[in-house]
């Protein structure tokens, strides 16, 4: 088994054993989405029109809550220092940890989104679209988020700083995630263009995110 | 195998901590770094492990695969234990064994793991989550890394902190065996580790305190 797989397995095991982070993210997602109809009133047409946007924005915020965990615990207990001495390049360390974050947080959030769609009167035919765009878009959230998480490991209470650093990077994912859904609802062939761009953003993030995160980790370790 | 450090200059926060330091350590030698607080013991160790980029000077390890980076020859045991509280003692050591080692697996790796746990008196605690260990036991758990993955250069920063007398003797034995097998040990310490033949490098003599 390679170092990459070992690290991925360890991080997933830790996420499973210390389930608090995922529970917090899912709970936050549920609460934010449940508050929307209370604030906006029981206008079903309005809710179903803005449902996909609310679900996407709330997903970004929920994922943001769990981002610090990618590197912070390992930086605090010194494990990151020892990891830097392995044969695995730091870029792949960052990649494995981002991937573990996507599997342990991004996928559960994407699975939960259609369930929460019920609360917002989301159109039935939008459910598979919502799930597909979120599954394609969440890798960008984990891998771009890793850059911000790496930059803020030494900042005490760095959560707010992390949000300021990372949320602007999520704008393209948000825009194309929502346009893919809306376009598909208007015309059956409107989905592909936005969805492909969304996937491309995620693929670019998977490549560039770990490189930038590793550079940030190197400076943070000094 | 020989470690050469030539004209090393390292700064922290704009202040030069290590100024033009030159020394070498041959295989089969242990070097003790001593000096008052703030003399640069940790800084030197972290620079040797490659965490800190020196301003000038070089660190070279002869006799190690030139294709590979010096950091891949290093074991680093610092102030932090690098153990995960929710993993068991065994899982912690097994992860580092696989991650830092050469990827060997099967019965040989399992035997090495158990031998290390027995050596540091943790075999009875193998299934206990590391969260429940005492400070000394946590330290012994991180020292297990040294035994399960074979690496020639050991960089130890205050390795005997929170160890009891018997464990300190054990640590000295382990270091002695590594040195006898041709390895290099560089240890920063305030306490005598009971290493008979170790050389000593006093740091901080030349640094003026502001």
In chain B, where are the structural domains located? Answer: 2-202
User: pLDDT for B88-138, tens place per residue?
Assistant: 999 999 999 888 886 566 778 888 888 889 999 998 998 999 999 999 999
Q: Which residues of A touch B52 (CB under 8 A)?
A: 222
Residues from chain B contacting residue A10 (CB–CB below 8 Å): 84, 87, 95
- The residue segments making up the domain with residue A77 are 3-221
Nearest to B72 among A14, A81, A85 (CB): A85
Q: Enter the ipTM.
A: 0.87
pLDDT digits (tens, 9 = 90+) for B126-155: 899 999 999 999 999 999 999 998 899 999
Residue of A6, A13, A85 lying closest to B76 (CB–CB): A85
- Classify A41 as helix, strand or coil: coil
Q: How far is A164 from chain B (nearest CA, A)?
A: 26
**Pairwise CB contact (< 8 Å): A82 & B145:** yes
Q: Which residues is B18 bridged to in the sheet?
A: B10
Per-residue pLDDT tens digits for B55-89: 999 888 888 887 788 888 899 998 898 999 999 99
Contacting residues of B for A18, CB less than 8 Å apart:
86
Residue B201 · residue B23 · CB < 8 Å:
yes
For residue B207, give the DSSP letter.
P
As beta bridge partners, residue B34 has B202
Q: Give the gap in angstroms from C-alpha A202 to the nearest C-alpha of chain B.
A: 28
CA–CA distance, A109 with B25 (Å, rounded to integer) = 54
Considering CB atoms only, which of B71, B86, B91 is closest to A84? B71
Q: How far is CA B24 from the centre of its chain?
A: 17
Residues of chain B positioned with their CB less than 8 A from the CB of A3: 98-99, 103
Q: What fold is seen in the domain B2-202? A: Rossmann fold (3.40.50)
pLDDT band, very low/low/confident/very high, at B203 (cuts 50, 70, 90): confident
Of A38, A36, A62, A61, the C-alpha closest to A50 is A36
CA A14 remoteness from chain centre = 18
Nearest-angstrom CA–CA distance, B13 and A209: 28
Domain total of chain A: 1
Helix, strand or coil for residue B59? strand
């Amino acid at each position: 088994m390679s170092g990459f797989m070992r690290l991925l397995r360890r991080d997933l095991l830790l996420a499973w054993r210390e389930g608090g982070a995922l529970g917090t993210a899912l709970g936050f997602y549920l609460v934010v989405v449940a508050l929307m109809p209370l604030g906006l009133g029981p206008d079903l047409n309005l809710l179903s029109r803005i449902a996909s946007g609310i679900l996407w924005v709330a997903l970004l915020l929920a994922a943001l809550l769990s981002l610090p965990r990618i590197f912070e615990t390992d930086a605090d207990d010194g494990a990151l220092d020892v990891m830097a001495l392995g044969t695995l390049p730091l870029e792949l360390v960052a990649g494995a940890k981002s991937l573990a974050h996507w599997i342990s947080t991004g996928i559960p959030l994407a699975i939960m989104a259609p369930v929460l769609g019920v609360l917002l009167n989301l159109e039935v035919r939008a459910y598979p679209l919502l799930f597909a765009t979120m599954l394609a878009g969440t890798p960008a959230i984990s891998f771009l988020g890793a850059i911000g998480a790496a930059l803020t490991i030494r900042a005490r209470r760095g959560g707010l700083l992390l949000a300021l650093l990372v949320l602007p990077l999520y704008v393209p994912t948000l825009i194309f995630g929502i346009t893919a859904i809306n376009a598909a609802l208007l015309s059956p062939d409107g989905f592909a263009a936005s969805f492909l761009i969304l996937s491309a953003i995620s693929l670019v993030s998977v490549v560039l995110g770990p490189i930038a995160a590793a550079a940030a980790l190197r400076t943070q370790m000094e | 195998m020989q470690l050469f450090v030539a004209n090393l200059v390292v700064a922290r926060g704009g202040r030069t901590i290590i100024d033009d330091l030159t020394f070498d350590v041959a295989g089969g030698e242990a070097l003790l770094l001593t000096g008052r607080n703030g003399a640069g013991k940790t800084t030197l160790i972290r620079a040797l492990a490659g965490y800190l980029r020196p301003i000038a000077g070089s660190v070279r390890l002869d006799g190690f695969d030139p294709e590979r980076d010096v950091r891949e020859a290093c074991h680093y045991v610092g102030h932090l234990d690098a153990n995960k509280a929710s993993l068991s003692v065994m899982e912690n050591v097994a992860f580092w064994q696989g991650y830092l080692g050469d990827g060997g697996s099967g019965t040989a790796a399992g035997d090495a793991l158990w031998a290390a746990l027995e050596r540091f008196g943790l075999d009875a605690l193998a299934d206990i989550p590391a969260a429940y260990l005492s400070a000394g036991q946590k330290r012994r758990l991180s020292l297990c890394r040294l035994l399960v993955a074979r690496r020639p250069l050991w960089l130890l920063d205050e390795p005997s902190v929170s160890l009891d007398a018997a464990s300190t003797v054990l640590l000295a034995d382990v270091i002695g065996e590594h040195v006898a097998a041709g390895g290099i040990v560089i240890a920063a310490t305030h306490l005598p580790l009971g290493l008979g033949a170790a050389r000593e490098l006093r740091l901080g003599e030349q640094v003026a305190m502001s």
